[in-house]
Amino acid sequence: MSLNRATGQARAQTSSVFAVTACFLLIALVLTGLVTHVLTTMTRSANEMDDARAGRAAQAGVAALISRLSGTTTDNAVWDDAYSAIGSATAADWAYTNWGKTSANYPLYDGVAVIGPDGAVISAYSKGKPFQPHDLFGEAFDRQIEAAAGPRQEPVINFMKTESGVALVASQAIQPFTPGVELPKLSVLSFYKELTSDVLNTLSDEHELEELRLAPVPPQNLLSTPVRDIDGVAITYLVWPSKAPGTAVLHNVYPYIATAVVILVLFLGGVLFAGRSEARRLRALAEAARFEASHDSLSGLLNRHGLLSALDHLGNSSNTAMSLYLIDLDGFKAVNDAWGHAVGDDLIRIIADALPNCHRDIAAAARLGGDEFALVQVGFATREEVEKAILDLFMEPFKLDGRTIEAGASIGSAASAADIAPLELLRRADMALYRAKENGKGHAVAYNSALDQDRQRIAELEGELRNAIGSGIIEPAFQPLVSASTGMITGLEALARWPSARGNISPEIFIPLAEKSGLIDALGIHMLRRSIAHAKNWDGLTLSVNVSPIQLCNPDFGAQVIAVLEDFGFDPARLTLEITEGVLITNPDQARRSIDQLKNIGIRFALDDFGCGYASIGALRQFGFDRMKIDRSLVSGVEAAGNGADVLRATISLATALGIPVTAEGIETAEQAAVLRDAGCDQLQGYMVGKPVSADEISRKLLQEDLRWERERA
Ligand code: C2E
Ligand code: MG
Ligand code: MG
């Protein structure tokens, strides 16, 4: 999974979790808001409606009081008997008998006053006792009497302040029931009723106004209605507490609301918790994906992607010099082959642990592939110091489960500069590493522009080689293989020759190039065809053709060789394929398959360059080689004193004892020829017995040899 895809997916998922959680919270909050609004509106409306009802009830109560006292006053004032009695000399007595006495204990009024047309008090009793209306009610009473003095149907009625409280006072002119003639200024009858607690209680009961009382100013928390005097000024207030039925209902349902709120809070808490843990889980997943995408699973170091990011980051964030070191393990493949992949993996882990700590300047470490590591140095230590620190790690063999494993390292490094992108830095270090490996094991090479030029030259050469193979310029030269006993040519080895515009290019250069660039299969088959085309004419002689290990690993190789032999009608028994030992180690199974297939039709195999590598006599037997060719490097040392010659002799006798004939390569002197012949080699090859020459020259040489042979027989 790519880093961007993994983190992008996780980020999108985290965002959706946040969005869903936020939606839940929002919906819950909106619902809570709506329900709260509905509840408060209902509570407030119910309270307000009841308060309004109570207000109306209070006013109705006051109106009832007024109406009752008005009725009583009219009943008594508009009365023929009263009119004539008050106009008589016994007015005071009459008034006392009919009204004053009654006031002592009468529910309809607490006091009565009869004021004459001249304003004099004719009779005034309060609760059965005489009193002075003016003293009790003040000048408002006088004004009311004045207003009521004319004949009229309705009494004048007002609340008035008294010493002990408030009283409702109704006044009406005492007049005959049936008004006829124009009446003079009349006496006025006044009844009053005090707003006592009993009156208020009655009012309370009649109008459902609990705790009704009077208050000089309306308290904030109580409902009220003003009681106004003759001037419209509020002299007291009827006050009572609101019943607040909405609030009462709210209180009743409060436990349910509280339970619902607790459930909602728990639900929201749950949603939040679930959302948070899901987001945390996704974040952890994203983190893991990011780590996975930028790290190597085996070693835990950065991978290639992580290394490029680290180079980018370190390059941008520090002003100090930065260098990249690529490290390739030498001999790691042999470790895998010898001990298995599990041990190889353990070795990788041990090295991965050690590399980042090998020098204090190492700022990042990565594993780029099988046995390739990278270190980023940020600091002022010299390249040599860092290279030494790396190579020191490989000085001692590694101890692994009781095994002692030797491994080395090749290093390619490149220094960063302002305008070098991470990818280019990696390319440069890679090129340096490539060169270091070409130079052999344990080498360290720093990038310089000459490497690029070399790479350029190699690329050009590769192009030329491709053309050369296509156009058939590459031709075999043939080097004689002679019998050690008779000196007669018994066979010929085909060696590729490339006469290019730059002069002859050695096969030591273009064969490895063909191997690296994938041209070796085409070149190998071309060489086989050309060699057989010539060798067909050289009856009785064997033909040896060199085969690259890479060709041998191609599963089609056997079939291709057989097809060429069939094309030319060439006897397979005359063909020997020379292979070097490398392939026996790197790809033994495929090598064995190809060898067996071709040996079955009679082709022979020779192990080339024996003695300069690791191949053993055992390998010779194991793979069924028909011949062993001793490498020139061993042959050239044969004359020198020392046990090298003895070892060589012993090797040759061992091979011959096993029935494997031996060819000595690179014979340059007669002495070498003698020593190797004595040692048991049955075939010699080298400049002394014949240099590689063209096919024509070989034909001429063979003709001469035939003539000589015939002369000698004659
Ligand atoms: P090789 O197969 O071991 O061939 C012998 C090499 O030693 C040849 O070098 C030959 O010219 C050289 N030689 C022979 N006798 C003497 C001597 O007395 N003194 C010295 N100094 N050198 C001697 P050459 O032709 O340069 O080939 C080098 C290698 O290139 C060959 O080693 C072989 O491994 C490879 N090669 C050549 N042609 C082909 C080919 O067609 N296909 C493949 N796959 N490899 C080839
Ligand atoms: Mg050879
Ligand atoms: Mg050789």
Cα of 200 to ligand 1 centre, how many Å?
Answer: 137
48 Cα to the center of ligand 3, angstroms:
116
Q: Which residues line ligand 1 (CB under 6 A)?
A: 479, 495-496, 506-508, 511, 524, 527, 546-548, 578, 608-609, 632, 665-668, 685-687, 692
Minimum CA distance residue for ligand 1 atom 24: 507
592-617 as b/e: b if 16+ CB within 10 A: bbbbebbbeeebbbbbbbbbeeebeb
Nearest ligand 1 atom, CA 692: 11
Please identify, by atom number, the ligand 1 atom nearest to the C-alpha of residue 496. 38
Tell which one of 497, 508, 546, 668 to mutate to probe ligand 1, the residue whose CB is within 8 A of the most ligand atoms.
546
Structure tokens at 446: 């720093």
pLDDT for 438 equals 87
Between the CA of 637 and the centroid of ligand 1 the distance, in Å, is 18
**Alpha helices (H) along 357-398:** 383-392
Give the amino acid at 455: R
Atom of ligand 1 nearest to the CA of 507: 30
Locate the ligand 1 atom nearest the alpha carbon of residue 477 and give its number: 25
Tell how far the Cα of 704 is from the centroid of ligand 2, in angstroms: 25
Q: Let me know if domain 59-240 sits in CATH 3.40.1000.10.
A: no
Question: Residue 276: which of 620, 557, 17 has the closest Cα?
Answer: 17
What span, in angstroms and rounded, lies between the C-alpha atoms of 543 and 532? 8
**How high is the pLDDT of residue 1?**
43
Model pLDDT, residue 159: 95
Alpha carbons 169 and 71: distance in angstroms, whole number: 12
| Look-up of token digits 């004892």 | 657
Which structure tokens are listed for 628? 């062993």
Centre of ligand 1 to C-alpha 507, Å, is 7
Kindly report the protein residue whose alpha carbon is nearest to atom 4 of ligand 1: 495
Q: State the CATH architecture for 304-447.
A: 2-Layer Sandwich (3.30)
For the CA of 609, the closest atom of ligand 1 is: 3
Ligand of minimum distance to the alpha carbon of 496: 1
Q: 626 exposed, middle or buried (CB, 10 Å; 0-12, 13-18, 19+)?
A: middle
Amino acid identity of residue 76, one-letter, is N
CA-506 nearest atom, ligand 1 = 26
Question: The pTM is what?
Answer: 0.57
SS3 at position 495: strand
- Centre of ligand 2 from the C-alpha of residue 579, in Å: 7
For residue 331, what are the contacts with CB-CB under 8 A and spacing of at least 6? 406, 407, 408, 441
How many angstroms is it from 629 CA to the middle of ligand 3? 7
From the CA of 493, the nearest ligand is 2
- Name the phi and psi angles at 542, rounded to 5: -85, 160
Q: How far is the CA of 434 from the centre of ligand 2 (A)?
A: 27
Look-up of token digits 């008997």: 81
Q: Where are the alpha helices (DSSP H) in 131-230?
A: 133-137, 139-148, 197-207
Res 4: pLDDT: 56
Atom of ligand 1 nearest to the CA of 580: 34
Which listed ligand is nearest to 525 at the C-alpha? 1
What is the model's pLDDT at position 168? 95
* Alpha-carbon span 534 to 543, nearest angstrom: 10
Going by alpha carbons, the residue nearest to atom 19 of ligand 1 is: 666
Residue closest via CA to ligand 1's atom 12 equals 666
Q: Spell out, as residue ranges, where the chain has pLDDT lower than 70.
A: 1-11, 179-182, 583, 585-586, 613-615, 641-642
Write out the E strands in 229-361.
234-240, 322-330
- Amino acid identity of residue 481, one-letter, is L
The amino acid at residue 418 is A
Give domain limits for the chain. Answer: 59-240, 304-447, 459-713
**What is the whole-number distance in angstroms between the Cα of residue 482 and the centre of ligand 3?**
15
User: CA 196, CA 217: separation in Å to the nearest integer?
Assistant: 17
Note whether 425 and 446 are within 8 A (CB): no
Cα separations in angstroms, 206 against 58, 66, 244, 428 = 10, 15, 19, 107
Residue with the smallest CA separation from ligand 1 atom 11 is 692
Closest C-alpha to ligand 1, atom 2: 546
**What pLDDT score was predicted for residue 210?**
87
**Contact yes or no for 77/155 (Cβ under 8 A):** yes
The CATH topology of domain 459-713 is TIM Barrel (3.20.20)
Question: In this predicted structure, what is the pLDDT of residue 25?
Answer: 79
Ligand nearest to the CA of 631: 3
Cβ 77 vs Cβ 174: under 8 Å: yes
Mean pLDDT rounded to a whole number for the chain: 90
Counted residue by residue, the chain has a size of 714
| Residue 454 alpha carbon to ligand 2 centre in Å | 28
Whether 459-713 and 59-240 are alike in CATH topology: the answer is: no
Please list, in sequence order, all residues whose beta carbon lies within 8 angstroms of the beta carbon of residue 197, skipping any fewer than 6 positions away.
213
User: What pLDDT score was predicted for residue 36?
Assistant: 85
The 10s digit of each residue's pLDDT in 238-290 is 999 988 888 888 888 888 888 888 888 888 888 888 888 888 888 888 888 88
Helices (H), 419-479: 422-439, 449-471
Report how far ligand 3's centroid is from the alpha carbon of 578 (Å).
8
User: What are the phi and psi torsion angles at 694 (to 5°)?
Assistant: -70, 165
* 436 closest CA partner among 502, 387, 382, 492: 387
DSSP conformational letter for 155: P
Give, using CA atoms, the residue closest to atom 16 of ligand 1. 666
Instruction: Give CA 453 to chain center in angstroms.
Output: 43
Q: Which of 321, 459, 331 is nearest to 407 (CA)?
A: 331
Probe residue for ligand 1, chosen from 469, 495, 631 as the CB with the greatest number of ligand atoms within 8 Å? 495
Ligand 1 atom closest to the CA of 687, numbered from 1: 18
Residue 180 is predicted with a pLDDT of 67
pLDDT at 115: 95
User: Distance between CA atoms of 183 and 149, rounded to whole angstroms?
Assistant: 11
